[in-house]
Amino acid sequence: MSNNDNQLEFSTVLAAAVHDMKNSLCLLLQSIENLNACLPSTNDESSVHLASAHYEASRLNTGLVQLLSLYRAGLKNLPINIDQHYLDDVIDEVLATNASYLKHKNISLKVELVDNLSWYLDLDLICILLNDMLINAMRYCQGNILLTVGTQDDQLLISVHDDGPGYPVAMLEANKSELLDFDISHGRTGLGLFFARLIAKAHSKDEKYGLISLQNGGKLGGSVFTLMLP
């Protein structure tokens, strides 16, 4: 057996292990939600701890989904299912996933959304991407997040603004096509960014492909993550 065969075999086993861990994390998240529902509303301290546990488990689950999708993409098999979806439903789903953490961390999240806006997209992949965008904003914000959804030049634009310290310079200057090894001590790594580009690019129309952009400033003075879909 060649070295390449050994590498492929290991990556396949690793992908299977990641899939199993992801399933276990989903059950853990459900258990946390059920436990939170059983607690009396007056038990603020326990609710805060459960919200933090839910947040960290969600981050782990997102990371495992990213690894699994990157593995499939390496095999030219990134699953994508494009269909028409209303953006208010998409945003509601993402917000519902993070409602507990937002509440117990006293984070103010405002949404600016064009009414009755629909778009052709992969619901599961876009929800994963938007959830990751929101998780990062919640982690680094000082208490305020703004989510805007609209269109410009025949493209769907979804942006997440926060009032945190903004993106590191290295992240803003990064080559858009590369998976970079950012300083983990600063909490920002290249995996989520690479995965976001992968999802965006999987959406195409008339030889135009989806993109993401990062910038600092925006409406709240912190980081701004924008997803653009044709």
> Is a pLDDT exceeding 80 seen at residue 72?
no
Q: Where are the domains of the chain?
A: 3-74, 83-229
| Distance in angstroms (rounded) separating the CA atoms of residues 38 and 43 | 11
| pLDDT reported for residue 50 | 74
pLDDT of residue 174: 64
pLDDT digits (tens, 9 = 90+) for 83-123: 999 999 999 988 887 787 787 778 899 999 998 999 999 88
Number of helices and strands in the chain (H, E): 6, 9
62, 117, 132, 152 from 136: Cα distances, Å: 11, 25, 6, 25
pLDDT of residue 193: 75
Average pLDDT, the chain: 77
Strands of the sheet containing 108-113, edge to edge, are 108-113, 144-152, 155-162, 223-229, 211-216
Across the range 207-219, mean pLDDT stands at 91
Q: Is the pLDDT of residue 229 over 90?
A: yes
Per-residue pLDDT, 136: 83
Report the pLDDT value the prediction gives residue 6, as an integer from 0 to 100: 43
DSSP-derived pairing of the beta strands 208-209 and 211-216: unpaired
The pLDDT, as a whole number, for residue 113 is 93
Residue 41: what pLDDT?
A: 64
Task: Kindly write down the DSSP assignment for every residue of 156-211, as one continuous string.
Answer: EEEEEEESSS---HHHHTS-TTS-----GGGT--HHHHHHHHHHHHT-EETTEE-E
206 pLDDT higher than 90: no
pTM above 0.85, yes or no: no
CATH of segment(s) 83-229? 3.30.565.10
Tokens coding 219: 């409406």
Q: Please give the residue that has the higher pLDDT: either 164 or 8.
A: 164
pLDDT in tens, 45-68: 776 777 777 777 776 776 676 666
Q: Is the pLDDT of residue 176 over 70?
A: no
Which pLDDT belongs to residue 183?
42
pLDDT higher for 127 or 2?
127
164 close to 143: Cβ distance less than 8 angstroms: no
3-state secondary structure (DSSP) of residue 71: helix
Nearest to 158 by CA among 134, 193, 135: 134
